[in-house]
Chains A and B, each alone.
Chain A
Amino acid sequence: MNAARYAIGIDLGTTHSALSYVETAKCEGEEVEQRILKIPQLTAAGSVEERPLLPSFLYLPHPDEHKQGDLTLPWGGDPTRVIGEHARRQGLTTPIRLVASAKSWLCHPDVDRKAPILPPEVPAEVPQLSPFEASMLYLTHLREAWNGAHPYDPLEEQEVTVTVPASFDPAARELTAEAAKAVGIEHLVLLEEPQAALYSWVNDSLGRWRHDVKVGDIILVVDVGGGTSDFSLIAVTEQAGALELTRVAVGEHILLGGDNMDLTLAHVVKQKLKKNGVELDRWQLQALTHGCRQAKEALLADAELASYPIVVPSRGAKLIGGSIRTELTHDEVTTTLINGFFPEVSVDERPAQRARGALTKVGLPFAQDPAVTRHLAAFLGKQAGATEDLEGFVEHAHWASFLHPTAVLFNGGVFNAQVLRDRVLQVLNQWLAGEDAPPARLLAAHDMDLAVARGAAFYAYARNHGGVRIRGGTSHSYYVGIERSMPAIPGMEPELHALCVVPFGLEEGSAPVVPPQEFGLVVGEPVRFRFFGSSVRREDQVGDLLEEWSEDELEEMEEIQTSLPADKLKRSEVVPVRLQAEVSEVGTLELTAIPTNVKADGEASDWKVSFNTRGSNSNGAGG
């Protein structure tokens, strides 16, 4: 087969998606020419425009809402699903028909990700989609947009990298890969977003990055997008005289981003108006949020500016008579944003956790503590020993209470504001100074909105044409829970042991690992395992059996399950199997149950163990 002509990076974001590409024949070494695909999308009924960003919103219109043909795209398109700018706008006025943040739902452990649950809690008449379907539709839109512009080089035949948050669990990664395969992408690789941001930085430096970092550096990538925050640590190592990048740790999935900030400001202004007896309806609150975003950008960019006027336009045609005028002051932005989202905290502070009310409706598990810096402190504290096993690293001081990064790379639209970059760096450097460590340097990044897509395209290219690669493998070690057989004691749960099935840092494409322990599986019945992951236990080897562990080391994930079909074996026969783990070329984790007593006629086959994406409460949709 001929090599693909283009290397493509797709940033499938929570609030925006983008596609960047490079023509491989035009690149040499680390000089890669990036281009962003202009994505045709509906911007109003009956009008199509090409924009570099595709808002990740999907609108399910009422059949009488638009004229026949007004929802036509250059490639036809499905008039019952509107994607992009028009969807976002329609959703402002008709939220019950809007699917938003599908990506956050895709890694929500408590719901069935393939069941039609979005938009959540709507009247029965409104059609619903699954988070998986929504992701697939965004990818389909991107595929059609690409194929329209490059009819002779369809997306299906190119090298494609799709980015996922570093904090995505194996199940969410698998769902993303499955969605990409379902739209026909054959040569697919998944890439973690903070890594993509770093690749974009490498790409922009045109090879000079080797002078900007040195062996022993630890780069902290802080990625705060519209809806999620993502942290990663990447160490600079050396292999046979050449610099290498190794991802050593990733943070937890934090649903906290720029949209929270705009909303918070809008509520501040709303309260101010309420004091003057002005009440806002939902539509006006949306307009106010929009105004606050602009005021925020202006106030953060210019420290001299004392206040910025905001006008909430009337909804009716009387613009002058019905508009509400107010303003946002510099102090309000500082107290709300900087002290609210980026407070100066000490490094041993941890995010506040509220116990969730028992009657909470099923919604997204938004972060309960808005302080990004506190989440960062928790991450660095947890990963204090992340570089212990790396060769060539200065022994980390044993008394250090957190991992000391030496450089910081910012990404995400929030950090377009210089003030916020400075703030995070300042807080981090305070922590470092407290432990007599040198301050961290800032790695200059460009174009924070498109960096992930660009980095992904660079990776898609570098992967096949030689070039720097970030190594890392799995970001967690994984365990299955085994109940120890013991006499039943009333009121006590049987003791649970954890068997390591995947070691930390298992790389894609490396030989599969099989722990020696055997399990007896019953044919014809679904078997479930409790499944655990750890982002800190780096030394555990395959087959290690943990008898005890501290609470925050191991995190229980969704169950994994398999079912042995009873076609050739007798039903309810017990078959001894071993669990084999492998990271596929795509970047997803694959578990397989392999029968140990392979018969001579070779009739026993392997069974895939799948991740449970159905949610822990079976009727999670609630309606």
Chain B
Amino acid sequence: MTDEKPSLWQRLQPLLQAVKRLSAAGWKLAMYWLGIAARALKRLAAAGWKLARYWLGIAARETWIVLKRLPIASYSFARAMVSADDAQRLTDFYINAASSPSSAKTPPAPAAVLQESGPDSALVLLSLLQKEGRFLDFLQEEVSGYSDQEVGAAARVVHDGCQRVLEDHLSIAPVRDEPEGTQVTLNKGFDPAAERPTGQVIGEPPFTGALVHRGWRALEVHLPRVASSRDVRILAPAEVEL
């Protein structure tokens, strides 16, 4: 009726094509199954049980592969019968799938989008580390002219203060609880971001190896709420004693 939306007949055309393809595929599958079954029967008649069992096994496996889909097929059938919405969704799904038969060939969508990490929370954390632990003072100072003892004394201030910041604002726990050096196993499907295999990385998981580093995981982050007026780029204000 309108130019924007094709009529149902036009929309159904590709579906009919698909049905045609589907019935062809179904016919092929049925023939294949019948071929195997026939061969099995022939062996049973000619050479007896032993050889027929091989072909019967194949026939049974093929049958099972198809029959396994029965639950989801019946479920979809039931859903389509019961719910108008679901029926519409399924129709759209088949039509769209049928109308863009080349969809399988499109390049896979990227698994993740690269995004900028916002500078604000990094700056807030830095200013906390500076306020409590003099972190920036420590890093910005030239250490080569000082003895280890002097650097060590200052490191106490930094360690003590920064540790407090971590305790107050992050809950940090090791990724693996085992002591370092113990043998651990990475099962199939392990999260490579959390557990990184190194060295002889070959073969299939499960991998077994020695735990070299326990890893760290932030369980919770609770940074302060920041007023919109605050300039977070000021990491530490200049102090002027009056």
Which of A50, A70, A93, A294 makes the CB contact (< 8 A) with B229?
Answer: A70
Closest Cβ–Cβ distance, residue A313 to chain B (whole Å): 5
- Given A70-B229, A320-B146, A321-B146, answer yes or no on A44-B224 (Cβ-Cβ < 8 Å): yes
Q: Which of A61-85 contact B (CB under 8 A)?
A: 67-72, 74
- Bound together, the chains give a CA A297 to CA B81 distance in angstroms of 73
Q: Number of contacting residues on A, CB 8 A?
A: 29
Pairwise interchain contact B230-A323, C-beta atoms closer than 8 A: no
Interface set of A (CB-CB < 8 Å, partner B): 40, 43-50, 67-72, 74, 93, 294, 309, 311, 313, 315, 317-321, 323, 325
Name which of B23-31, B44-52, B54-62, B152-160 contacts chain A: B152-160
From known contacts A93-B239, A318-B141, A321-B146, infer whether A46 and B229 are also in contact, taking CB-CB under 8 Å.
Answer: yes
Tell me which residues from 137 to 153 in chain B have a Cβ below 8 Å from any Cβ of chain A.
137-138, 140-141, 143, 146, 149-151, 153
What is the minimal beta-carbon distance from B92 to any residue of chain A, in angstroms?
44
Would B138 and A70 count as touching, CB distance under 8 A?
A: no
| A46 partner, pick from B150, B156, B158, B230, beta carbons under 8 A | B230
The one of A74, A319, A320 in contact with B225, judged by C-beta atoms closer than 8 angstroms, is: A74
Residue among B124, B146, B227, B231 having the largest count of chain A Cβ atoms under 10 Å: B227
CB distance from B146 to the nearest CB of A (A): 5
B226 on the A face (CB < 8 A): yes
Known: A309-B153, A313-B157. A47 touches B230 (CB 8 A): yes
Chain A residue numbers with a CB within 8 Å of B124 are 47
Q: A294 contacts B160, CB within 8 Å?
A: yes
A46 and B226 in contact, given A294-B160, A321-B141 (Cβ under 8 angstroms): yes
Q: A47-B224, A70-B227, A93-B241 are in contact. List 13 more A-B contacts (CB 8 A).
A: A44-B224, A49-B224, A67-B229, A70-B230, A74-B225, A311-B157, A317-B141, A318-B137, A319-B134, A319-B137, A319-B154, A321-B146, A323-B157
A47 x B143 contact (CB < 8 A): no
Q: How far is the CB of B7 from chain A (nearest CB, A)?
A: 55
Residues of B within 8 A of A318 (CB): 137, 141
**Could you give, for residues 204-233 of chain B, a 1 whenever the CB lies within 8 Å of some chain A CB and a 0 otherwise?**
000000000000000000101111111100
* Residue pair A320, B138 in contact (C-beta under 8 Å): yes
> A320 contacts B229, CB within 8 Å?
no
Most buried by B among A45, A48, A67, A317: A317
Given contacts A319-B138, A321-B146, contact A311 B153 (CB under 8 A): yes
Q: Are B230 and A67 in contact (CB under 8 A)?
A: yes
CA distance A311 to B138 in the complex (A): 14
Which residues of A have CB within 8 Å of B134?
Answer: 313, 319
Q: Chain B residues with Cβ under 8 A from A70's Cβ?
A: 227, 229-230
> Interface centre among A67, A69, A313, A315, by most B CB within 10 Å?
A313
> In the complex, what distance in Å separates the CA atom of A96 from the CA atom of B131?
22
Listed A/B pairs (17) with beta-carbon separation below 8 Å: A44-B224, A47-B224, A47-B227, A48-B225, A49-B224, A49-B225, A67-B230, A68-B229, A72-B229, A93-B241, A294-B160, A311-B153, A311-B154, A311-B157, A319-B154, A323-B153, A323-B154
Q: In whole angstroms, how far apart are the Cα atoms of A325 and B157 in the complex?
A: 10
CB under 8 Å from chain A, chain B span 41-81: none
A49 CA / B231 CA spacing, docked (Å)? 17
Q: Tell me the bound Cα distance from A44 to B124 in angstroms.
A: 11
Complex partner residue of A320 from B150, B160, B230, CB under 8 angstroms: B150
Instruction: Indicate which residue in A46, A49, A313 contacts B227 across the interface (CB closer than 8 Å).
Output: A46
Contacts of B224 on A, CB cut-off 8 Å?
43-44, 47-49
B137 touches A69 (CB 8 A): no
Residue of A nearest to B156 (CB): A311
A residues near B141, Cβ cutoff 8 Å: 317-321
Residue of A nearest to B232 (CB): A46
Residues of B contacting A325 in the complex (Cβ-Cβ under 8 angstroms): 149-150, 153
Q: B161 — nearest CB in chain A belongs to which residue?
A: A313
B112-151 contacts to A, CB under 8 A, are 124, 127, 131, 134, 137-138, 140-141, 143, 146, 149-151
B151-182: which have CB < 8 Å to A?
A: 151, 153-154, 156-158, 160
Bound: A46/B223 CA distance, A: 13
A271 to B120 CA separation, bound complex (whole angstroms): 44
Query: From B146, which residue of chain A is reached at the shortest CB distance?
Result: A320
Contact B131 A44, beta carbon cutoff 8 Å: yes
A309 to B153 alpha-carbon distance, docked (Å) = 9
> Which 10 residue pairs across A and B have the least CB separation, nearest first?
A46-B230, A69-B229, A47-B224, A319-B137, A325-B153, A46-B227, A320-B154, A49-B224, A48-B225, A313-B157
Cα(A313)–Cα(B224), bound, Å: 25
Q: How far is the CA of A43 from the CA of B141 in the complex (A)?
A: 27
B157 in contact with A319 (CB, 8 Å) = yes
B104 to chain A, nearest CB (A): 51
